[in-house]
């Protein structure tokens, strides 16, 4: 029987993190932006059926980037956890912070104990009753939780996109402006993203009990400025992406 | 946070999820001698009309011959385009409504798309059937379900029996202790293509007559300002009528009835000192 090679724990963790980061970087990014009536989430996604952004509970939404089957499994677990908690106690007792902690536990556990880490980055967002009370929890593949204010970006090109948002974002944006800067930041200076390549949804205070609402592509086309034909350099969706990732 | 392996996954069913996580409520085991008066909700009706369905329910809950609640509600939105009305043991009925609403929302969130109206009606049927052992202990629940079928563009309504039997009605349905009287009033006043106002008045009339004949059905409570809950379900969704509108319609009905009663011949008192005395 041969002895297994010794690998330093630092090296194991680094390899896993690199593996997860590479997987996430293959998919496209997602931006979440606080605006005057709540939180806007916007992602590049050529598919209109495989969603990156979804409703979890009355005031809570979920967004994920990376490997579709993995973040969708997390999404469903979140819906189940929230519905069970609301059923056992009260609808008011379901909150994003608790969900984010549960996600962090799962992702951390899988990162250290399983063969392969999850190649996902997720966002748990909760719209508050008043402006300024919205919460966004950005959770990484290894279970790191970050409490974000104003805006946050998930995915491979997160830093560049966050830099662009940093210069554009301000408090009290309306929905149309929030959408324009989010889409502008996702695309960058030399690329315009068509409404048919976008998925967007809001958690809006004014929406009643269930704050989540999808913004369909017709509505997106109405809000976003029409792209000048010459400037449009949309990427072909199928050639640049592996089949497992949705957008 | 519940995570399942693919073969063990409960899918979009909330009831299954409750079973898997050990939260399924137990069925009570009462022997006949231990039975006691529990709270019952009474009369509800659903009537189809030109734009959808009107659902209405009185506000009384009774325990034996006590009035245990004067302002209970029995008509609820199930989701955006459907409603559920309950009659029977109030505790289990409220729990069933809560679970049913949750089930529809849970399915919609997990699957990313709402159930068809038919699917919702079947789901409620399964819940009533699962309640059968409790129903045998005197805790029966007999709901009505109505909705606007967005795929077929029209109102549809369903009634159930205690075993979970699901029956689609094309015109109207009634459930609860006053259902015979309420149902008869609706039956006589019904015609195809009723307008919203006519249907609401018919529902109000039916509940009034049911309350007039059945002690477990509550009539309009003018002292406290408690009136039946009435809702319309149309392409615009489930909309509860304004209390003020219902009060106004009841006032109109009562005025009409008062005129009718005033025309009835005067009653001869049973105990009168006039009896047997010849007029001078």
Among positive and negative, which fits the CA dihedral B142, B143, B149, B151?
negative
**What is the distance between the terminal CA atoms of chain A, rounded to a whole angstrom?**
46
Q: What is the pLDDT of residues A87-106, one digit of tens each?
A: 999 999 999 999 999 999 99
**Chain B environment of A108 (Cβ under 8 Å):** none
| Nearest CA among B243, B60, B51 for reference residue B147 | B51
Global confidence as pTM: 0.89
Whether B2 and A51 lie within 8 Å, measured CB to CB: no
Question: What is the sign of the dihedral through the CA atoms of A50, A53, A55 and A56?
Answer: positive
What does the alpha-carbon distance between residue B255 and residue B276 come to, in Å, rounded to a whole number? 37
* pLDDT tens profile A41-70: 999 999 989 999 999 999 999 999 999 999
Query: Which residue of chain A is at minimal alpha-carbon distance from B22?
Result: A84
pLDDT at B33: 62
Quote the tokens at residue B138: 């005197």
Residue B102, token pair as written in the block: 């949750």
Contact predicate B196/B232, CB 8 Å = yes
CA distances A3 to A6, A10, A11, A212, Å, are: 9, 20, 19, 55
Find which of B109, B110, B114 to mutate to test the A interface (most A CBs within 10 Å of its CB).
Answer: B109
Active site residue B163: no
- Is 80 exceeded by the pLDDT of residue A231? no
A50 in contact with chain B, both atoms CB, cutoff 8 A: no
Q: Looking at residue B172, what is its pLDDT?
A: 97
Helix axes A9-26 and A96-113, enclosed angle (nearest 10): 120
Q: Which of A77, A78, A87, A57 lies closest to B97 in space, CA to CA?
A: A87
Q: What pLDDT is recorded for position A226? A: 64
A127 pLDDT tier (thresholds 50, 70, 90): very high
Q: What is the pLDDT of residue B280?
A: 55
Residues of chain B found within 8 Å of residue A55, distances taken between Cβ atoms: 109
For chain A, list the domains and their CATH numbers. Answer: 11-221 (3.60.20.10)
Q: What is the DSSP string of B32-100?
A: GGG----EEE--EEEEEETTEEEEEE---EEETTEEEESS---EEEEETTEEEE--EEHHHHHHHHHHH
Using a pLDDT cut of 70, give the percent of chain A over it.
Answer: 91
CA–CA distance, A176 with A222 (Å, rounded to integer):
10
Domains, chain B: 36-258 (3.60.20.10)
* Residue B236 contacts A, CB cutoff 8 Å: no
For chain B, helix, strand, coil in percent to 5 are 35, 25, 40
Q: Which residues of A touch B109 (CB under 8 A)?
A: 54-56, 79, 83
Mean local confidence (pLDDT), B21-29? 79
Cβ neighbors of A5 (< 8 A, separation 6 or more) are: none
A31-35, A116-120, B133-137, B162-166: segment of lowest average pLDDT: B133-137
Query: Does residue B102 sit at the A interface (CB-CB below 8 Å)?
Result: yes
- Residues of B within 8 A of A105 (CB-CB) are 1
Strands (E), A58-208: 60-66, 120-126, 135-139, 145-148, 151-154, 198-204
The active-site residue, picked from B42, B43, B62, B123, is B42
């Amino acid at each position: 029987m041969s002895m297994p090679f010794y690998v330093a724990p630092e090296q194991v963790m680094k390899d896993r993190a690199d593996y997860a980061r590479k997987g996430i970087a293959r998919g496209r990014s997602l931006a979440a932006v606080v605006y005057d009536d709540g939180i806007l989430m916007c992602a590049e996604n050529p598919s209109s059926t495989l969603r990156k952004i979804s409703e979890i509970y009355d005031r809570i939404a979920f967004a994920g980037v990376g490997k579709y089957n993995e973040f969708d499994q997390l999404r469903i677990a979140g819906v189940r956890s929230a519905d069970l908690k609301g059923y056992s106690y009260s609808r008011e007792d379901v909150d994003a912070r608790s969900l984010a902690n549960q996600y962090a536990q799962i992702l951390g556990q899988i990162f250290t104990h399983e063969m392969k880490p999850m190649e996902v980055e997720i966002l748990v967002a909760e719209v508050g009753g008043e402006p300024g009370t919205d919460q966004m929890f950005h959770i990484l593949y290894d279970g790191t939780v970050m409490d974000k204010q104003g805006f946050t970006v998930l995915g491979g090109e997160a830093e560049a996109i966050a830099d662009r948002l940093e210069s554009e974002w301000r408090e009290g944006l309306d929905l149309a402006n929030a959408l324009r800067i989010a889409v502008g930041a996702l695309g960058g200076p030399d690329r315009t993203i068509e409404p048919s390549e976008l998925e967007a949804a809001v958690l809006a205070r004014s929406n009643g009990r269930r704050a989540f609402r999808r913004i369909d592509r017709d509505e997106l086309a109405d809000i976003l400025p029409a792209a000048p034909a010459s400037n449009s350099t949309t990427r072909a969706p199928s050639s640049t992406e592996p089949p497992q990732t949705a957008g | 946070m519940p995570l399942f392996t693919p073969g063990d996954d409960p899918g979009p069913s909330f009831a299954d999820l409750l079973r898997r996580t050990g939260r399924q409520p137990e069925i009570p085991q009462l022997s006949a001698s231990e039975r006691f008066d529990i709270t019952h909700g009474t009369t509800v009706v659903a009537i189809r009309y030109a734009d959808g369905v009107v659902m209405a329910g009185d506000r009384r809950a009774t325990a034996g011959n006590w009035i245990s609640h004067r302002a209970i509600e029995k008509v609820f939105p199930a989701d955006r385009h459907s409603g559920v009305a309950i009659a029977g043991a109030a505790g289990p009925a409220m729990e069933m409504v809560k679970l049913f609403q949750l089930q529809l929302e849970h399915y919609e969130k997990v699957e990313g798309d709402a159930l068809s109206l038919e699917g919702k009606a079947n789901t409620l049927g399964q819940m009533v059937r699962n309640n059968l052992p409790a129903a045998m202990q005197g805790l029966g629940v007999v709901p009505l379900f109505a909705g606007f079928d967005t795929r077929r563009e029209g109102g549809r309504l369903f009634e159930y029996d205690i075993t979970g039997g699901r029956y689609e009605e094309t015109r109207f349905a009634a459930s609860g202790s006053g259902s015979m009287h309420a149902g008869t009033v609706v039956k006589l006043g019904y015609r195809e293509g009723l307008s919203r106002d006519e249907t609401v008045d018919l529902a109000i009339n039916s509940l009034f007559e049911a309350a007039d004949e059945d002690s477990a059905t509550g009539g309009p409570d003018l002292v406290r300002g408690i009136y039946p809950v009435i809702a319309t379900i149309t392409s615009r969704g489930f909309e509860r009528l304004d209390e003020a509108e219902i009060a106004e319609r009841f006032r109109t009905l009562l005025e009409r009835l008062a005129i009718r009663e005033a025309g009835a011949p005067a009653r001869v008192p049973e105990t009168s000192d006039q009896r047997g005395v010849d007029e001078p």
